[in-house]
Amino acid sequence: MPRSPTFDRDAKVEQAMQLFWEKGYESTSVQDLVDHLGLNRSSLYNAFGGKHELYLEALDRYRQEDIEWLRGQLREAPTALKGIRQAFVTVAERATESCCGCFTTNAAVECAPRDASTQKRARESFEKMRSLFRTAVEQAQEEGAVDPSRDAKALGCHLTNVYNGIHLTAKTDPPDAVVQDIVEETLRGLTCSARDASP
């Protein structure tokens, strides 16, 4: 019968999350995990099942924290438009300070194409982001900041795509002005009229 772990499981998952986030799945070996977490191999396998299972648990931890952070940014601002702006400005600052990008976006690029478990998790996270942004756009329309004739669902999809794209762009270490331009043009495009937005 396996012995109960004598370590703080949550702390180890947090440490694993940071390592996978920084190095990616393929570049993180079991030995890397053993060294970084301070566990022997048998303890790691007994507690988590293996590298892939630990990766998914770490990804779930990140996804939950990331969605809650975005929800807070959008809900705590005095207006919906300010909430959207705050979310984009802050994520741009975070992305340019670190070239690690977003763990969920990284997982979608690296592992989702060949791993159904990762794909499902990334898809769920993006769906939640689209829903949060759509709700924020609908509120901004009610507040008169966004043209009510524009498609809130489509705008939610667009904002999610740009939001995740900022992380990918930041991984190339561009000048800060490049990311700032992306944010400002996205926000300007959000508040233009439906006629101006038409091709």
* Integer Cα distance of 196 and 26 in angstroms: 45
Q: Which residue has the higher pLDDT, 96 or 87?
A: 87
Mean pLDDT value of segment 80-101: 89
Q: Tell me how crowded residue 81 is: count the other CB atoms within 10 A of its CB.
A: 21
What's the pLDDT at 175? Answer: 86
Is 31 a residue whose pLDDT tops 50? yes
Q: How confident is the model at residue 193 (pLDDT cuts 50, 70, 90)?
A: low
Task: Look up residue 86 and give its amino acid.
Answer: Q
Is this model's pTM higher than 0.95 or not? no
Per-residue pLDDT tens over the stretch 130-189 = 999 999 999 999 999 999 999 999 999 999 999 999 999 988 888 888 989 999 999 999
Cβ(95)–Cβ(110) under 8 Å? no
Report how far residue 190's alpha carbon sits from residue 180's, in angstroms, rounded to the nearest whole number.
15
Which superfamily, per CATH, for 61-188?
Answer: Tetracycline Repressor, domain 2 (1.10.357.10)
